[in-house]
Amino acid sequence: MVQWESQCEDLWVIIEVPFMKYIRQIALCAVYLPPPVTRSTLDIFLDSCNLMFERTGLHTCIIGDFNLSNIKWNLINDSANNYAPPGFNNLLVDFIHTHKLVQLNDIVNVSGRILDLVLTNLPSSNVTAALSSLTAIDVLHPPIEILLRGSKETWLPYNSHNTRINFFKLDYVKICHELDNVDWDMLLRKIIDVNDMLRIFYDTIWNVIQLQGPPKSTCGKKKYPPWFSRQLVRALKAKEKIRCRYKIYKNPMDELELRLLGKRCSKLATDSYNSYIKGIEDEITKNPNRFWAYIKDKRGGYSSFPATMTNGIVVTSDGLQICEMFASHFSSAFSNLKATHYEPVSDYLLNMKNNSLPLTTPVIDHATLFNKLKALDVRKGAGPDGIPPIFITKCASSLVCPLVIIFTKSLSSGVFPDSWKKAKVVPIYKNDEKDHCNNYRPISILSTFAKIFESLICPHLQSHLKLYLSDSQHGFVGSRSTSTNLATFTEMLTNAIDRGKQVDVIYTDFSKAFDRVPHHILLAKLSAYGITGTLHTWLKSYLERRFFFVAVNGFRSPIYEITSGVPQGSHVGPIMFNAFANDIPHCLKFSECFMYADDLKFSRVIESDEDIDLLQSDVDSLVQWCSENGMELNVKKCYHVKFTRKKIMTASIYHVGSDVIQEVSQVRDLGVNFDSQLTFVPHVESIIKKASKMLGFVIRNITGFRRSSTKILLYNSIVRSVLEYCSTIWRPHYATHNLRLERIQKRFLWHLAFANGISKRKRSYDARLAHFKMVSLEKRRRIADSIFLFKILRGKIDCPQLLSNFMFRAPARFPRAPITPLYPPPRRTVLGMNSIVPRLCKLLNSYSDLVDVQFDSFGKFHRIASNNV
């Protein structure tokens, strides 16, 4: 293929390889880059490869001598490592990540280096050392054998006997009419037991649905892809009929008809797919869900389970047994701690018990409930009760009356209905081997009515408990987030490192924290915070005797009891967990604590052995808290990091019981990689690697779309979001890192310009940004900094620790010249001067004469900040 060849020594061919019943085309490239390899040489070759990927999208194998011996390929291929190759070698690494390639050759030469690379996107290929060679062996280029092969995974089939009602095709006018004719007041008011109330409520609903003769459909995947038209399906069926006939009788006329139908099917398939993609793009503003469903399908977002699975002991391909294996594995996370009388022993909880304000039982309001019913997301599926949100939303006015009666009775009697305490659990794949059930996590799906009930109680609980929640807790608390947690933590670290100090940080991990919470201890703590009486009884009923079953591809496991923990997938669960863990910061007397739900880290500035002993004392206090509260630390996932830039660090070791906490030089904290010198280089490398892969996905899957706006929407959602998560925390201040980040967007704009035919007229990055009405990533990070500061100063972010770091200028006399509103704290080092608070102060001061951050609206502030950063 001469048109793909560059000015380098590369040769491209297309080979056809049999794969199962099909012929697969593979683009094969042999290349030689003579030493010394320069940046321009590598750029020329990679640009040629990019054009090939743009135009064909074929499976590819690039083989050759790249003479790039400085890259450590064992670290590049390690997905958990954030290794950055030296110099311009990162051009090749970013190219590999973008196009989802793998470097297979790990056979080193006599110098211990790898010069010959095998880059491919065929998933199951491998490279081995050649047992014999065709020519004399060059010690710098040991002979290798390459096996190129594809893989075809088999998946667990759906249970075809499982049918369900198609709620989208029901006649809701008739259903609402029937429900309105029911005298709910007479039917429910005289019933004492709320469980009997709920049984009658569901019986009435199902009887009304059955009267309509509801349309039913079989669960599972459809036989044909969604883009198949009716004409294409009919043509395929006719083709299969002729094929079977020809196979038996060998009639030449059948052979001719089979060829004609094959061509017709190919044309119909192309037209159907193009029409489907065009329809998605045309409806993207009116029906964006269709577009995102298409993207989710392309990303493999719909769960598929291998045909054969194991729990490490038993191997099975039976759907029911697979469900039972998952259920058994998930139930092992629960604690069997027997309930005993628990009295708070810490001074903090005793003080809370004596001084907390009592919380009254909330009142259910008709209007609020109606708004909740109408606001449901109709795209969601049904819970264990089989009633989906689409039914509840369509019948909202008819369901308000009975639900108010049931909710009010439940609260007044202190009984949460039993049928709403059942959860459907769906396994979601995490990592490692996909055929092992231990590598999945459970996602609970609750009845929609139960979640509506919880959502009415939650604001009442949350506003009361926020009076007592620690400022250290940033998870599931209004106006706080991962950003506030990390910003507070990072500012503390940079301030200490700037002063030449060492900060020791202990990162902890609770084993199955949400699943192991003992109910009797949680209820005792809720009582200490003033939640008593009927509401306390209701919460006790809500927690106890809950059950779950696992659902996989239409198969269901037996029912298992949930013996501990806060309910997953609920609204009330996270609030309860915050109340349960709220006394942890008060146990850590000698260190600074930072929490995000169950993610806990605590730190202390280390200046002597006494500081080490005090931090160890807090570790021991946390272990004691776990013992008293039925929790357990997973020591293998607990880490100790020494944050400092001192040449000589203070030696320190910390223990959990008899186990030593592992010391590491970098750690992933709430999605951001922290290294011990706080350079954030590993994080930058990590997000470049991830964003490159996402960019490759975007480029591979947007070729059917014609509008630039559609492509930009997808890029912004799944690529730019990776590059901008918590950017205020890690924003680089060195040009080399900014350029590497910007290269991702440059590559996307190159694709847009090439697709639009303007790549030669708009050659510069700035010209392409202006043409597509986009902004550079560096400018967007500065705008994000401005918005973060605005929210802190205006109270939109509730983070008193961070706010206390900002110093306002308050002149004694009215100044003759304009003054800047913030006083940047003095810092000694480059790290300190570019840390969060000094950087945000300087940023606001640079345009403070144009805007008043205390009085101007957010719209005006955003507009001025965008034009002046």
Which tens digits make up the pLDDT trace of 193-224?
999 999 999 999 999 998 877 776 655 566 78
For residues 836 and 491, the answer to whether their CB atoms sit within 8 Å is yes
Reduce the DSSP state of residue 42 to 3 states and report it. Answer: helix
Count of C-beta atoms within a 10 Å radius of residue 331: 18
- Paired tokens of 848: 């403070």
What's the confidence (pLDDT) of residue 90?
A: 84
Name the nearest CA neighbour of 662 among 650, 670, 652: 652
**For the chain, which residues score pLDDT lower than 70?**
1-5, 19-22, 76-84, 150-153, 160-161, 216-222, 300-303, 338-345, 815-817
Q: Which of 51, 53, 69, 73 is nearest to 61 (CA)?
A: 53
Cα angle 812, 815, 816 (rounded to 5 degrees) comes to 155
- The secondary element (H helix, E strand) that includes residue 552 is strand 546-552
Q: What pTM was computed for the model?
A: 0.89
Q: How far is CA 553 from CA 84, 204, 387, 563, 762, in A?
A: 42, 29, 19, 26, 50
412, 534 in Cβ contact below 8 A? Answer: yes
Q: What is the pLDDT of residue 221?
A: 60
Do 302 and 155 meet the contact criterion of CB atoms below 8 Å apart?
Answer: no
- Cβ pair 96, 47 in contact under 8 A: no
Can you list the alpha helix ranges (DSSP code H) found in 607-761? 609-628, 681-701, 708-715, 721-724, 727-730, 735-756
Nearest to 773 by CA among 834, 712, 827, 819: 712
Q: Are 410 and 421 in contact (CB under 8 A)?
A: no
Q: Spell out the alpha helix ranges (H) of 21-64.
A: 39-55
- CB 98 within 8 Å of CB 692: yes
CA distance 315 to 308: 7
Contact 327, 557 (CB under 8 A): yes
Cβ 245 vs Cβ 254: under 8 Å: yes
CATH architecture of the domain with range 487-518+564-678: 2-Layer Sandwich (3.30)
Q: Please name the residues in contact with 548: beta carbons below 8 A apart, sequence gap of 6 or more.
A: 327, 330, 422, 423, 424, 425, 444, 559, 560, 562
120 close to 61: Cβ distance less than 8 angstroms: yes
Tokens 């489907």 sit on residue = 276
Chain centroid to Cα 546, Å, comes to: 28
Distance CA 434, CA 304 (A): 10
- Output the CA–CA distances (angstroms, integers) from residue 290 to 224, 299, 417, in the order listed: 17, 14, 36
Partners of 686 in beta bridges: none
Looking up tokens 């049984």, which residue turns up? 199
Residue 128 main-chain phi, psi, to 5 deg:
-130, 160
- Which residue's entry shows tokens 């609770």? 510
Q: How far apart are CA 618 and CA 585, in angstroms?
A: 10
| Domain edges within the chain | 2-147, 164-204+312-471+521-546, 230-298, 487-518+564-678, 681-774, 780-868
d(CA 157, CA 221): 9
664, HSE (Cβ side, Cα atoms, 13 Å): 15
Whole-number Å distance between alpha carbons of 633 and 626: 7
Q: 309 with 435: CB under 8 angstroms?
A: yes
The pLDDT tens digits for 376-386 are: 998 888 999 99
Confidence at residue 246, expressed as pLDDT on a 0 to 100 scale = 86
Sequence-ordered list of residues with C-beta below 8 angstroms from that of 129, at least 6 positions apart, any chain: 107, 142, 143, 144, 145
Are 327 and 425 in contact by the 8 Å Cβ rule? The answer is yes
pLDDT at site 146: 84
Q: What is the pLDDT of residue 49?
A: 85
Radius of gyration, CA atoms only, the chain: 31
Sign of CA pseudo-dihedral 315, 317, 323, 326: positive
Residue 824 preceded by cis peptide, ω within 30: no
Cβ proximity of 627 and 604 under 8 Å = no
Q: Mind spelling out the 3-state secondary structure of 706-722?
A: CCHHHHHHHHHHHHHHH
Place of tokens 């110098």: 111
Tell me, what's the pLDDT at 343? 64
Shortest CA distance to 626 belongs to which of 604, 654, 598, 652?
598
Tokens at 45, concatenated: 């070759």
CB of 121 closer than 8 Å to CB of 99: yes
Q: Distances from the Cα of 662 to the Cαs of 80, 505, 655, in angstroms?
A: 17, 12, 9
In sequence order, what are the residues at sequence separation of 6 or more whose Cβ sits closer than 8 angstroms to the Cβ of residue 731? 781, 785, 839
Angle, helix 39-55 to helix 735-756, in steps of 10 degrees: 40
Q: Give the Cα separation of 39 and 59 in Å (integer).
A: 26
- Quote the tokens at residue 703: 């070729």
Strand partners, 510: 633
Closest listed residue to residue 805, CA positions, set 840, 781, 843, 834 = 840
What is the model's pLDDT at position 85? 76
Name the residue among 415, 437, 225 with its Cα closest to residue 327. 437
- CB burial of 59-78 (b: ≥16 within 10 Å; e: otherwise) equals bbbbbbbbbbbebebeebee
CA-to-CA separations, 150 to 297, 400, 761, in angstroms, rounded:
21, 56, 41
